[in-house]
Structure 1
Amino acid sequence: MHDLIQQMGKEVVRQQAPNILRKRSRLCFYKDSLKVLTTNKGSKNIRGIMLHSRQQLEVQLHTEAFRRMENLKFLIVENVHIHKPLEFLPKNLILLKWPQYPFHWPSEYFAKQLVAVEMPHSCIRLPRLFMQCRLENLTDIDLQGCKFITILPKLWVPNLENLNLSYCENLVEIDECFGYLEKLRIWYLNGCIKLQFLPSQLRLKSLYSFYLTGCSRLEKLPHFHQEMECLKGLYLSGSGIREVPSSIEHLTKLNTLILHNCKNLRDLPDSIYKLRRLRELWTSTTKLRPMCNSFDSSSEGYELYLLTMPNYFPALEILSLSSNNIVTIPESISRFPKLKYLSITNCKLLHEIQGLPQSIREVHANNCMLLDTQSASRLLNQVIEMTGILPNRVCGSARSTNYFPSETEDGDISMDRQFSNYFPSETEGVEYEDRDVYRIMIFWGTKMPEWFNHQSVENSIFFWAGRKFPKLVVCVVLGREGFYGSVDISINSYKKREYEHIRHSGNNCNLHLFSPPQRSLQEHLNESNPTDQNHVKVSYRIHYQNLVDVTYRNANGIKRWGGST
């Protein structure tokens, strides 16, 4: 409906002067816009031009094509590459959208009425007049990927709301004035690999999200003013910062703090414990202190002071400690009341996990090769406890094609005669907890737990279910070959659905366990023409292996897999 209304509006404008382009108020059709801009046939009647090509084209516009369009307010040029720079741009523009503009702006150009500038991946430099004029209407700037911008100078933009300078690879310095923009809401500086100097203080009262990911030469963060109460997300992954200022305590509404892979960062300030609303924390250093009496003096192991203070982070739901030199996850982590996701991937000195909270839904412990067997068993027991699966309860024997021939169902499946005892045929009164919760655990290992009663080295396993779908846990033993794939479930050969995506980098063997929400499985069953005995097929597909876009039936990335019901 929206597209139809838009087309109707364009046609109404075209009918204003169907044969005389310069008399129209707007030029929206590609051929009409191109004709005016290549022949210099513009006029003061034209208030908007859109030159949009579905495919990348090279054309040559008249260098003074906009000279006569003194009332032009809207200019949008997309997928059109020009060979010569323009000598003039309209000074009354409100919207200037021209991605990949290949030249600098005209030296004398300034447009004090601008509301939005969208020129990503362009070759522009900010002209001096642009710096000197008062751009009071400007609310949006998108100059991401503009490699000729080296300094963001002093600009008068008091109403700026969105500033995107991401991947300006030669940007080094940002003027102090940008630390006092009271209406700025979102600021992107991610990927500015040469950025070294930010404003010394940020007093951005409306700032909601601040992105500094990948700013590897940025060593110092600004002081955060106490009026920065709106900031919700601070993203510093891969930056070169050496410390987090104690003024971070002023970010009282912060709920996401990303400090992953900050290689120069050695510690966090005590004031971080004042972030009572923090919901997501990713860090490679979390108030670490050396272990005592656990290893000799040459040990590089650490314990996490942060994890001994669960009361300080009552809202924490997501915690990533990947690539830390930690030795122990203490029992106190079980007292984090809302923690759902924990990543300890590549913690290569980690020996022990003393506990996990009941709220946990996902644990990633890839490549923790020193993790003791007791901790691994504790993780498995957590799966059992969360899902309600009873280990070694055999409700049937899965048979995979070719490997386990059988006389039933064309050699695919052989089931225990006690099957009906385990699956009630009625669903009335059944209640489900955690309706939309997936439970996932990934940790180092090479052997599937014996209590998985359906196992296979082929790409499918089968079992039977009654009218109530049983609780299900699927385990995949991942080999040393990387791949991206999915696990699908079909019931009665009807409506196959993807229930899990697996992205495995290879190099190390890991176990990937997951348990789909039982309510989702039950709803799937109810939509699959259910009877008292329903045939369930669980299968995996490899979409990409070694970055080659080929689908494989058998993958070296999966050594063995199975399910428990």
Structure 2
Amino acid sequence: MPSAFCAEKLVELHIPGSQVTRLWDGVQDLVNLKKIDLSKCKQLVELPDLSRATNLEEINISDCEVLCQLHPSILSSPALEYLMLYGCKELKSFKGEIRSKSLRRLDFDGCSSLEEFSVSSGQLTSLTFKSSGIRSLGNELCCLTSLEELALSDCRELTELPHNVKALSRLQILTVSGSSSLRSIPELPLSIGEVHVTDCTSLETIFSLKEESFLRRISFMNCMRLDEESRNIIMEDAHLTILKKILLISAENSHLWDSHEFNRRFSCDVCYPGSKVAEWFKCRTTEGASITVEIDEPYNQLLGFCVSCAVSQEFSPYYSVYCEYDLGDGEKYPLGTYYLNELRGRWNTDHVCLWFHPFYDSRIKNNIERCVGRDDHGNTWNKTILFIFTAEGLESRMDDFFIKGCGVSPIYLSDVLHLIPNWN
């Protein structure tokens, strides 16, 4: 800018894609400035002091490829709502105190040289790193007391997560993918609902995912080195979570919820490397894609079905696993589908998938009731149900060659009653 440039009345500054290397020297009175767009300014090497830009709402410096540092004043505006800096390939450090109560999301996608990150904020809810050079986040992460989502994708230098991540009492979603140097997942907070860990090829151990939490999704796709204890933790935590959710469904009359609300609150599915269905399944087989289950308790105490199958590594994760049941009346009824859509390539080993289908509506109950003989007290006559698993492609049903084993566990009222004394 010209040396005599006065920015006192400047409201918006838009010069994207220009050859500008810097804006001005010194400190300008920027009291009216609300927006800055310097995106794709590939020669920009520094930003000016913005400490007087007290009304600044939006800064876009994305794809500024040679910008290697930020002026500490960039986070000082109490009105800041958007800070876009993805694609800043030479940015090495991001530190400071976020004074804004409106800035909720930071996205460091493509900041491949970023090694240091340390901020304090009580309002930030989403933090995303993709293809960055970050090695660790530091224990200062616990200062982000409102954080709900943490995502680290293709951060190949990432060696650890902060041990105090459990202090993030509002964290709901943790995503870690392609971090080939990460070896363990620390203890997570009770608030956690989804854990997506994929292609972490050095991951060996995880801590319990917390029996008090209400997990909706647990995925450890292509984490081949998980030790046996960690795999047992995954399945034990999933089992307890499913039982608790079924008890909650029964207590809340959830047949009144629509399908979207039901899936948001009560769904739970699991995927991890393995070739056998968990031993706690009441009916399971290590061969074939179908299994017969007996209804051996009073029908009116049946609350739902937990289903699982082992899927061959040749099966593309872009596809899905479909389950249906046959009551012997000449019809096959859909039970549910497990969608496998978290990987961009193929599996490098066999995987076990698990999900559950509670009776949150009357369709399955009505189907079974028509075919299951029972007396006036609701006792069944040992009726059998055939469950069939099938691989589905993008356009059509595929052969069951990919299903290496399956299991079904009917969930009865007696299975969840023991949880009531400890229910909070």
Counterpart among 281, 285, 289 of residue 160 in structure 2: 285
1:192 alignment counterpart: 88
The question of whether the paired residues in 2 share the 8 Å contact of 1:150 and 1:171 is answered with yes
Counterpart among 511, 514, 518 of residue 351 in structure 2: 511
Q: Which structure: larger Rg?
A: 1
CA deviation digits over 1:124-179, x for unaligned, max 9? 34598899986655434455455454544456744221223333334334344423
Give, in whole Å, the separation in 2 of the partners of 1:317 and 1:511: 25
Give, in whole Å, the separation in 1 of the partners of 2:36 and 2:293: 57
SS at match of 1:286: coil
Give, in whole Å, the separation in 1 of the partners of 2:124 and 2:76: 14
2:272 alignment counterpart: 443
- Do the aligned partners of residues 179 and 385 (structure 1) sit closer, same or farther apart at CA in structure 2, a change above 3 Å counting? closer
Cα drift, residue 441 of structure 1 = 2.3
Counterpart among 357, 365, 384 of residue 211 in structure 2: 357
1:56 alignment counterpart: none
2:125 alignment counterpart: 232
1:215 alignment counterpart: 111
> Is 1:124 aligned to residue 18 of structure 2?
yes
Give, in whole Å, the separation in 2 of the partners of 1:551 and 1:510: 22
Q: Which of 1 and 2 has higher RCO (CA within 8 Å, sep 6+)?
A: 2
Structure 2 matches for 1:336-485, cutoff 5 A?
337-342=190-195, 346=200, 348=202, 350=204, 357-359=211-213, 361=215, 362-373=217-228, 376-377=231-232, 379-387=234-242, 435=262, 436-448=265-277, 451=281, 452-453=283-284, 470-485=304-319
Bigger mean CA offset, 157-166 vs 240-249? 240-249
SS at match of 1:484: coil
SS at match of 2:90: coil
Give, in whole Å, the separation in 2 of the partners of 1:251 and 1:376: 30
Q: 2:161 is matched by which residue type in structure 1?
A: T
SS at match of 1:178: helix
Counterpart among 188, 205, 208 of residue 100 in structure 2: 205
1:541 alignment counterpart: 392
Give, in whole Å, the separation in 2 of the partners of 1:203 and 1:168: 22
Cα drift, residue 285 of structure 1 = 1.0
- Do the aligned partners of residues 260 and 562 (structure 1) sit closer, same or farther apart at CA in structure 2, a change above 3 Å counting? same
Give, in whole Å, the separation in 1 of the partners of 2:229 and 2:123: 44
2:420 alignment counterpart: none
The percent identity for this pair of structures is: 21
Give, in whole Å, the separation in 2 of the partners of 1:230 and 1:159: 18
Q: 1:174 is matched by which residue type in structure 2?
A: L
CA deviation digits over 1:214-271, x for unaligned, max 9? 312233446x47xx43333343454334665776665444444556665556xxxxxx
Structure 1, unaligned runs of 5 or more: 1-107, 266-283, 288-304, 390-427, 544-549
Q: 1:532 is matched by which residue type in structure 2?
A: R
Give, in whole Å, the separation in 1 of the partners of 2:11 and 2:325: 58
Cα drift, residue 323 of structure 1 = 4.8
Cα drift, residue 363 of structure 1 = 3.0
1:162 alignment counterpart: 58
SS at match of 1:482: coil
The question of whether the paired residues in 2 share the 8 Å contact of 1:141 and 1:162 is answered with yes
Question: Aligned pairs, how many?
Answer: 360
- Do the aligned partners of residues 145 and 551 (structure 1) sit closer, same or farther apart at CA in structure 2, a change above 3 Å counting? farther
1:553 alignment counterpart: 398
Question: Over the residues paired in the alignment, what is the CA RMSD in angstroms?
Answer: 5.1
Cα drift, residue 195 of structure 1 = 2.2
Q: 2:110 is matched by which residue type in structure 1?
A: G
- Do the aligned partners of residues 366 and 231 (structure 1) sit closer, same or farther apart at CA in structure 2, a change above 3 Å counting? closer
Structure 2, unaligned runs of 5 or more: 245-249, 256-260, 373-384, 411-424
How does the TM-score come out when normalised to structure 2?
Answer: 0.62
CA deviation digits over 1:441-488, x for unaligned, max 9? 222222345754588857x88989989773232324131453302345
The question of whether the paired residues in 1 share the 8 Å contact of 2:202 and 2:223 is answered with yes
CA deviation digits over 1:505-546, x for unaligned, max 9? 4242232323245145x35548x9886139987644222xxx
How does the TM-score come out when normalised to structure 1?
Answer: 0.49
Cα drift, residue 181 of structure 1 = 2.0
CA deviation digits over 1:293-352, x for unaligned, max 9? xxxxxxxxxxxx558xx6x4555544567656647x79xx59x54444445653646268
SS at match of 1:500: strand
Q: 1:178 is matched by which residue type in structure 2?
A: I
The question of whether the paired residues in 1 share the 8 Å contact of 2:41 and 2:63 is answered with yes
Q: 1:357 is matched by which residue type in structure 2?
A: E
- Do the aligned partners of residues 525 and 160 (structure 1) sit closer, same or farther apart at CA in structure 2, a change above 3 Å counting? farther
